[in-house]
Structure 1
Amino acid sequence: MHLWCPTNGRPGAAVADLPKLGDVISRLDLRGAALSSLDARALRTTLPRAEFDVEAALATVRPICEQVHHGGVEALLELGEKFDRVRPTSLRVPAAVIAAALDQLDPAVRAALEESIRRARTVHEDQRRIDTTTQVVPGGTVTERWVPVDRVGLYVPGGVAVYPSSVVMNVVPAQVAGVGSLAVTSPPQATNTGVFAGYPHPTILAACALLGVDEVFAAGGAQAIAMFAYGAADADGTVVCEPVTLVTGPGNIYVAAAKRLLKGLIGIDAEAGPTEIAILADDSADAELVAADLISQAEHDDLAASVLVTDSTDLADRVVAALERRSALTKHTVRVNTALGGRQSGIVLVDGLDEGIRVVDAYGAEHLEIQTRDASAVAARIRNAGAIFVGDYAPVSLGDYAAGSNHVLPTGGCACHSSGLSVQSFLRGIHVVDYSRDALADVADVVVTLANAEDLPAHGEAVTARFPTAQ
């Protein structure tokens, strides 16, 4: 078990309640002067956070992307064999294989996916933007027009776990936004057999079928992002995957690094890091529910972060006891205990609710649960979170699958400046300026004056040239 020490490389942290050997999760005491002595930046660096060095991964990712750039389909097949331990039969998944995945899907899973899709559409359809025209002066208008991107590539992870829900969360807002061309990619699975051998997990393929997506590729990791950025052709020049303009979807550190490397050539939604849950709780919270929710995120992977912020030492003790008992009984015990015991997870003790709000706002969690008295009022005070889950009956797992909200959310504290995936992610606002001769003449002096103030006289001359008789 990796013991996270709050003072190791974290300026201003309090030396208190250090984990003992065998503790399932560490504690950080920010009561009293420990919190008041920290400014916002110091507090952010003091709180538990996973090590996730995207910059360091660029050296690994760069040659992979170059290989795809120059090698096309053959390079992608070779990289699939190298990293996913299986060579896809073809890069693009045949329509018959996608159809077979839906035909063979467990009826209960199909019904659950259909309900997830229905709820996601309900929420995302209310995010539609409308064009707005503003009359600035008589004869002068500015219209903001919302236009979907032309083509998007949607990445769906498929490593430690399988995520058909991520198909839903990526595809639905893109479709509602009106994107005309979209493609999904997911790693080929070495454990697949029969017709699905060498292709993404059949449940992912089935989700694509339910959403009407027929362009699906068997590629994962950095090479998949490169495929979307550069496109991919066969040796004879036949294009198998056209380049996209935007890539969305979470992935591992190599996916994030490829997004960083290729940003500019493509648009990206975010550089997603390990998943996070923070829970703000007081002594009214149910320790069993808190523990269950912390474990629910810890089972994602070894770097998943589970953080409890509370002013109740009694609750903290009861949560630790529940974590120890529940983690021993859950399916992915080793993974859960590794995540809970890592430096990215912990229990943060504070003096009161106001201090707790300050801490969770500094943390900027991907998922934030509020389990306090008057949870709705507390949630309204939160400024930084990817998504907020209010009260005992809104666990993060509801948002993962069936709340209707989107689960592709900012991580690593990025919620202080970024939003989760939405219809807006796939739209561009274009200002359309329409001025009559009289409206331009009325403001010509303003333009000329400001142009001259910036020593750009040709800017002003572009206006006066339209009124030669006035010169």
Structure 2
Amino acid sequence: MLHTIDLRSQDLSRTELVSVLPRPNVDVTVASEAAQTLIDDVRESGTAALLDQAERLDHVRPASVRVDIHAIDRAVHNLDASVRDALTQAIERVRRATTAQVPPQRHTEIGHGASIVQRWQPVDRVGLYVPGGKAVYPSSVIMNAVPAQVAGVRSIALASPAQREFDGGVHPTILAAAGLLGITEVYAMGGAGAIGAFAYGVPDLGLAPVDVVTGPGNIYVAAAKRLVRGQVGIDAEAGTTEILIIADGTANARFVAADLLSQAEHDEAAASILVTDSPRLAHEVAAHLDALVSLTANAERARTALEGPQSAVVLVSDIVTAAELSNAYGPEHLEIHTHDPHGTLEHITSAGAIFIGPFTPVSLGDYMAGSNHVLPTGGQSRFSSGLGAYTFLRPQQIIEYDKAALDVVARPIVDLANSERLPAHGEAVTQRFEE
């Protein structure tokens, strides 16, 4: 099912590793023109454009784009008790873990009478996008909203596509998750149009622009986020999900196969990669995958993903090489199944989230670990992080010097200002010491 890439006899540079590793063939630029048209349409026509886009793209015309608060309350009331309990647990776990991400205010004494305070200030308003389509994602409501709340964001709006099954409303489970979190500003809108609505606002809907847009979505959502970056902040251009598993001969092949499958069921373009120094393990994982895929509800979708060019078994000479390969790939999810997982971890530098040992599957992180599942894809973990409280925080430096402290550095300031041919900079200091 998974094709094999044998690198055991090759000594490849990082650049060469990147070129041979399988990747989903996702080019955001191909959706940019269509996304820009949808954004411009919303800017020009407001609510009418959002309704037309829902009818054309989601095949249903909502009675109202803004979800009535009573619909949210009903969704919470009608929520299955076991699902409510699971969501409540997930909210508490994510909140506890996310609280550790808020840095304390730091005060630094540069000298007598000279200080700098480093504080972290939340943005005022955010727009959270929760996708619809192949699955329902109340967990994404939690993963987006809790970090914003922990950061101290005062105004939170949420958008999710209109659902034909629910007469153009937002899926009730998503509404219920929003209700449990105290979010009352919810819109039945999706795709690039929703991102544009968040970025520029929709006056006739009473939708004010936001400062930051977060949340995963399809290629048009990713393209729209790229287009509005600069108008607003964004978390990342999320692509299709990916899992990379580093495993040696001690790994449980059935666990590895189950975890590869768990991500493959997301999307036909999802990437599932096993990197191992054990041909025996690779063979056993392949056998388990064949058996497990035939039993799962999303078998057709998962099989397409596992047989696609973006998924593979990669054979390497040793686990250190496996770690180097993983770093070059920069996976969204990385699992480590080796006899010394913490020793393997020491070689890892790039990953969205790292899952250690046989009883820490990615699906734990998707729901209940307390970590965030909105993570960088497409190799972006090499230079960016997953969603967290810090996504909604801005570091600010507060500088305060008294006259004596300024006098200590007055001459160096003048000298540097003159060297840069900016004498007024120095004069702004010397003016303070003239009688």
Q: TM-score range by the shorter chain?
A: over 0.9
2:391 to 400, 409, 425: 425
Matched, 1:367 2:333: yes
Q: CA deviation at 1:457?
A: 1.8
Matched, 1:378 2:344: yes
With structure 1 as the length reference, what TM-score do the two structures score? 0.91
2:213–2:234: 8 Å Cα contact kept in structure 1?
yes
Matched, 1:342 2:308: yes
Match of 1:225 in 2: 195
2:320–2:344: 8 Å Cα contact kept in structure 1?
no
SS at match of 1:329: coil
Instruction: String of CA shifts for 1:322-355, please: whole Å, max 9, x gaps.
Output: 1111111111111001111111110100001111
Counterpart of 2:380, as a letter, is: C
Match of 1:186 in 2: 160
Q: CA deviation at 1:468?
A: 2.2
RMSD: 1.0
2:321 to 345, 355, 364: 355
Q: Distance in 1 between matches of 2:422 and 2:7?
A: 55
Q: Distance in 2 between matches of 1:333 and 1:302?
A: 10
Count of paired positions: 435
Q: CA deviation at 1:240?
A: 2.0
Match of 1:112 in 2: 86
2:39–2:192: 8 Å Cα contact kept in structure 1?
yes
Identity %: 53
Q: Distance in 2 between matches of 1:341 and 1:439?
A: 67
1:86–1:190: 8 Å Cα contact kept in structure 2?
yes
Q: Which runs of 5+ in 1 are unaligned?
A: 1-23
SS at match of 2:272: strand
Equivalent runs, 1:247-286 vs 2, <5 Å: 247-286=213-252
Q: Distance in 2 between matches of 1:96 and 1:80?
A: 22
Q: Distance in 2 between matches of 1:453 and 1:419?
A: 39
Instruction: String of CA shifts for 1:431-461, please: whole Å, max 9, x gaps.
Output: 0110111111110111111122222222222
Q: CA deviation at 1:45?
A: 2.2
Instruction: String of CA shifts for 1:409-437, please: whole Å, max 9, x gaps.
Output: 11111111111111111111110110111
1:301–1:335: 8 Å Cα contact kept in structure 2?
yes
SS at match of 1:323: helix
Instruction: String of CA shifts for 1:80-124, please: whole Å, max 9, x gaps.
Output: 111111111111100111111111111111111111111111111
2:143 to 169, 172, 176: 169
370-379 vs 299-308, which moves further? 370-379
Q: CA deviation at 1:42?
A: 2.2
Q: Distance in 1 between matches of 2:269 and 2:413?
A: 55
Match of 1:65 in 2: 39
1:149–1:427: 8 Å Cα contact kept in structure 2?
yes
Match of 2:48 in 1: 74
2:196–2:224: 8 Å Cα contact kept in structure 1?
yes
Q: Distance in 2 between matches of 1:450 and 1:102?
A: 62
Counterpart of 1:209, as a letter, is: G
With structure 2 as the length reference, what TM-score do the two structures score? 0.98
- Structure 1's consecutive aligned runs of 4 or more residues displaced over 6 angstroms after TM superposition are none
SS at match of 2:220: helix
Q: CA deviation at 1:125?
A: 1.5
Match of 1:28 in 2: 5
Q: Distance in 1 between matches of 2:239 and 2:16?
A: 21
Instruction: String of CA shifts for 1:365-385, please: whole Å, max 9, x gaps.
Output: 100000010212222331110
Q: CA deviation at 1:189?
A: 0.7
Match of 2:370 in 1: 404
Q: CA deviation at 1:127?
A: 1.8
2:320–2:347: 8 Å Cα contact kept in structure 1?
no
Matched, 1:291 2:261: no
SS at match of 1:142: strand
Matched, 1:205 2:172: no
Q: Distance in 1 between matches of 2:19 and 2:52?
A: 41
SS at match of 1:466: helix
Match of 1:18 in 2: none
Q: Which runs of 5+ in 2 are unaligned?
A: none
Match of 2:292 in 1: 326
